[in-house]
Structure 1
Amino acid sequence: MKSRWFEIAALSGALVVGFHILFQRLKQQRTPDRKGSVLHAQAPDRLLDTEASPPLQLPLDLLLEILARSDPATVARCAATCRLLRRHVADPAFLRRLRAAAAITTSDHRFLIGLLYHRGRSSSHGDMGTRPPPLLKSSSGSLTNAVIASLSGELAGPDDPVASGGGLLVLRRGNKHYPTTTTLRVFDPVAGRGHVLPPRDIWDHLLLVMPDEDEPGALGGGGDINFKVFIADRDLRTQTYSSKAGAWGPVVRGNTTAACLRVPGDYELVQPWSPVVLGNVAHWLYHHGWDPGVYSILALGIIGIGKGQAAWIDVSRECHRRRRDTHREVCRELLLVSTSDDGELALLVWERPLKVSMWTMSSSSSSQRSWTRRVLIDRTAILGSVQPTCHPLWCQRVEFQWFAQGSGTVVFYMNSVGVVLLNLRTLEVRHLQRLPLELFDKVSPLCVYELDMVPLLLSLR
């Protein structure tokens, strides 16, 4: 039995915290000694008689130059404490420069991440939810300094989190198998605005939300949310909703091959709401129900001339050879990721006894694809970063839940530990939240909300 769901557990610093620019003052006045060769500080009683020196201030153009070379979190802090800086930071020319600099950096300080999950109830355990933990930065450079108590009444009720992207959440209400009886809603938690989508023509077996590239400054800019929602059914028919047009587009059937006309009925999505988007193509990982050791990746065009075109990519059986188990119930020991924001497609695999490996797929033609393995992090590094509730031997089971592509953060459940984060760029492991052993299978589903602070700066006025 499900009750109210959303709480934010989080992963790294406050969205906007106070940041003060310190101006150095002259503490001492020095005068030459009688010989005029050595400088000595004046006595304190003499300092009281002298007129206070004015503070040293940096010119505005120099401050803006420093901010332009800083990470978005620093820019947000500075702008929050100074109206003059805020006005200049909100200038479109400055934001274009900041966006260009952020596009070529791998800094995690530009992202905020939140975890949203159902608060389930059972007759034996009662309310399984917890008090809302803090919203944090995706990097680990600072401790928690703010707590978000709730996401307002918009996030209360029988809604399911089914997708996130570009600082937006997609919520579904009703039975997902009957599109005529379900409602999709796109919500911006930062701005506190929601958008109810009209009825769609196909079942949303696959769902993806993304900012409208035609209106890049709209998200968080104080106006309407500009976004697109892409859906596809098992027959690989696609439909896209545009907030700018206020309507769903036509149902599109791409030029798929005979072998890729539809998703077979026994194929199961491993992480349904965590696709990897590379360019104009989204990727989802499927498990073959008739064979516990066989997996495939669906590559589906979502925009442009290749929209609706699909292809299947076979996962090498070598990826499973070192796994602890290959049975159906532990298929979430695999997670589809990317090596960078626009990098190569890769697969994370939890291997025995306690190790995370990455299998990277080559970018050659489909008939010549190969997979290359490398160990990301081993038992020592993992156990040294978490606090198990029992003996480490019980920490063998994990379930990969989500990949936050912007910051490169992987979220997974670990038996006898709880919720753990792994940053693929820094290989840092963080123990986010303890989870009792008896509740390990009952906290589901989980949705990761990732916010890029560069577009957020557009809301500064």
Structure 2
Amino acid sequence: MDPGAAPAPPIPPGSAAPDAADSDVDATLPVDLLLEIAARSDAASVVRCAAAAKPLRRAILDRGFRRLLAQRATATSGYDPSLLRGVSYKVEDSDADHPVRVVQAVPADEPSVLRGFNVSLDFEPVASRDGLVVLRRLRPRPVFGQSIEEAPPGSVLRVCHSFTGAVSVLPSVSIRDYRKHALLSVEDNGRAFELLVADERLRIQIYSSREGRWGPVRAALPRRQSRPFHDSYPLVIGRIVHWLCNPEQLPPLGHLFGPEPYIVAVDADTMEATVIDLPRGCTSRMTASMSHRGLLLASSVDGRLKVVVSETQVISMWTMSPPVEGEPTLPPRWVRQVLIDKQDWGVHSSVQFEGFGLRSGTVILYVGRVGLIRLNLATKEAVIVYHLSDIAYISQVCLHEIDLSSLLQTMKPLS
């Protein structure tokens, strides 16, 4: 695997061979009708259709087809569940000699779709977006009495394309990067990207693959001295990166008592930082012992900020409404929606969130005594990813999604 090689667009298994696609066979159905069928199909089927014949490929690569896909997605709030192509995670089982990384395709009957994601357990995923996964080499555990924040800066970072296996090795970063990272942008089907890294003081560095280097260290200065949650993924909306934060002094054990957590939003270009308070009553609905892993930042496809909350009885989602025109200084308004009643699931254990996929609208959550579950925010469909045994421990959960629009734009017309 060449670290410098540019990833080619992933072709799902079962696609027609190029020789078959080159033959300009007349379609038995009108192209317009075939387009309607393709628009109602999953992402893998769309790519297969594009490989079937020249006229259909030309129509699928046209911007009009992408607009048709967007219209169809309104039924699922703009999300497309088929864009989630897999979930990976690490399993440590006391009955096994060694931990293993499980790579589970979605749907399960296409196991080779994630053939490119074959990663050593010496690395952990710290960000993922549109087929790319950022991997960080695991650090040695701090010695007794030493804080992880006292560790030296400069982790070993790699960026892997889940579907092609192409790997980029990044130069060393200048700050302590032991928190989760953010893929600020992914373009050209993963050939170009920007990676944002922040430390415990919200000092920020951005890596550009086009320039092949890290930018300068810059500090975001919110009006409250803030410390991002240690193991919570930041959320990217446009060029704004959002972190769940606590005040400078963390509550004991990271539990939600004492000062309320809040959101810090930072413009990656200007470093302007904004503090956004969580919805009133949001954390009071959680049990006193609930870890901050019971909070998750998410967003709608049109960029509205959401907070998913594991409450005592339900899993809820709070959506921030746009500011009132002419009154931009008013506190944000939040609308609460119940996603799941835990009683319906027969769940009385803690629920912790492991990640969110914007393309598919999927939330991965860990339910005590049950295991890993993927929940779609639009359809409310819940599927068990891994049924937990009493002797297993799950970590390093990662979602693998594709950006179908970007993939189609990189495909060339058949000659």
Q: 1:195: how far off?
A: 0.6
Aligned residue among 267, 289, 298 for 1:301: 267
The answer to whether the 8 Å contact 2:375/2:381 transfers is yes
Give 1:409 shift.
0.9
Alignment of 1:181-196 (within 5 A): 181-196=154-169
Q: Distance in 1 between matches of 2:276 and 2:205?
A: 23
The corresponding residue for 1:311 is 274
Aligned counterpart for 1:415 among listed residues 353, 368, 383: 368
Q: SS in structure 2 opposite 1:74?
A: helix
Change (3 A) 1:68 1:313: same
Q: 1:326 aligns with which of 259, 266, 288?
A: 288
- Change beyond 3 A, Cα 1:344–1:211: closer
Q: CA deviation at 1:131?
A: 6.1
For 1:239, the equivalent position in structure 2 comes to 205
Distance in structure 1 (CA, Å) of the matches to 2:266 and 2:27 = 58
CA distance in 2, matches of 1:279, 1:249: 19
2:296 corresponding residue in structure 1 = 335
SS in 2 for 1:321: helix
Distance in 1 (alpha carbons) for counterparts of 2:154 and 2:219: 24
Are 2:86 and 1:118 equivalent residues in the alignment? Answer: no
Counterpart for residue 219 of structure 1 = 189
Aligned mates of 2:311, 2:196 — CA distance in 1: 34
**1:131-153 deviations in Å (ceiling 9; x for gaps):** 654x115xxxxxx4222397458
Q: What is the root-mean-square deviation of aligned Cα atoms in Å? A: 3.4
Deviation at 1:121, TM superposition (A): 5.8
Q: Are residues 1:199 and 2:172 paired?
A: yes
Q: Which residue of 2 aligns with 1:48?
A: none
State the one-letter code of the partner of 1:334: L
1:219 alignment partner, SS class:
helix
Aligned counterpart for 1:208 among listed residues 177, 182, 192: 182
1:446 equivalent in alignment to 2:397? yes
- Bigger Rg, structure 1 or 2: 1
Aligned-residue offset at 1:228: 0.9
Moved over 6 A (4+): none
Secondary structure at the aligned position of 1:199 is classed as: coil
CA change 1:322–1:247 in 2 (3 A) is closer
Whether the 8 Å CA contact 1:399–1:413 is kept in 2: the answer is yes
- Show the counterpart of 1:45: none
Q: Structure 1 234/454 Cα, relative in aligned 2: closer, same or farther at 3 Å?
A: same
Quick check: 1:344 aligned with 2:309?
A: no
- Displacement of 1:63 in angstroms is 6.4
Structure 2 segments unaligned to the other structure (5+ residues): 1-10, 17-25, 140-147
Q: Does the C-alpha gap of structure 1 residues 435 and 86 become closer, same or farther in structure 2, counting only changes over 3 Å? A: farther
Q: CA 1:152–1:15 in structure 2 vs 1: closer, same or farther (change >3 Å)?
A: closer
CA shift, 1:164, in A, is: 0.6
Shift of 1:95: 4.5
Does the C-alpha gap of structure 1 residues 280 and 415 become closer, same or farther in structure 2, counting only changes over 3 Å?
same
1:51 corresponds in structure 2 to none
Q: How many residues align?
A: 367
Task: Give the conservation status (yes or no) of the 8 Å contact 2:13–2:110.
Answer: no
Are the aligned partners of 1:320 and 1:326 in contact in 2 as well (CA < 8 Å)? Answer: no
Shift of 1:414: 1.2
More off after superposition, 285-294 vs 414-423:
285-294
Local SS of the residue matching 1:102: helix
Give the secondary-structure state (helix, strand or coil) at the position aligned to 2:229.
strand
8 A Cα contact 2:125 2:133, kept in partner: yes
- TM-score, normalised by the number of residues in structure 1: 0.69
Residues 399, 412 of structure 1: 8 Å contact kept: yes
Structure 1: gaps of 5 or more residues: 1-13, 20-54, 138-143, 384-391
Correspondence 1:279 to 2:238? yes
Over 3 Å counting, the alpha-carbon distance change for 1:73 and 1:109 in structure 2 is farther
- What is the rounded CA distance, in whole Å, between the counterparts of 2:79 and 2:206 in structure 1? 32
